[in-house]
Structure 1
């Protein structure tokens, strides 16, 4: 036969989960860590949002020469024409940056901006 002991005051011996002050702090920090990480990453992106061409003053407009790509032309052939004494790779990269191109391939009839050198 087994015996069951019951406290005299009628309360159960199994108390609920109790956290100490230190335990509450640890739990709160674990729950708030992803929020803090997200805020930190967002704040790190602020300089990139304000980045721009520092050689251009505020309110100043820049004019570019526009060119329509002819059949058989490539960014490399166009860059060779306008590069002068500059490295052709740098000119190709500048044209890609100005026109927001992810690759150096262009199509006949495409209009592109050329940098002013």
Structure 2
């Protein structure tokens, strides 16, 4: 009977005697380097790519010419008048996009922005 009582204690002693995992100083350094490497690479990429956007002091005030629509005018008439060297279909499409118009319909008194590049 003594063997039956000591067997469970022997198994418990064997579990307690198992060594714990311990990191050496060299192991800690390697683990730290593995964890820090992606952070260092990301910081380098951000610093190299950081100069991509730069503010300029150029003024874009003259980027558009503003006209008021008169009675009976259409976008086609305005396109022919302000961009004679360009295809009116392209100019009308761009006027609709620039002015965020829901359709090609314009009304008297409406102000339209015309890109100054058309007046060249």
Task: Give the TM-score category using the shorter length.
Answer: 0.3 to 0.5
When Rg is computed on C-alpha atoms for both structures, the one with the higher figure is: 2
TM-score by length of 1: 0.46
TM-score by length of 2: 0.46
Query: Structure 1 or 2: larger helix share?
Result: 2
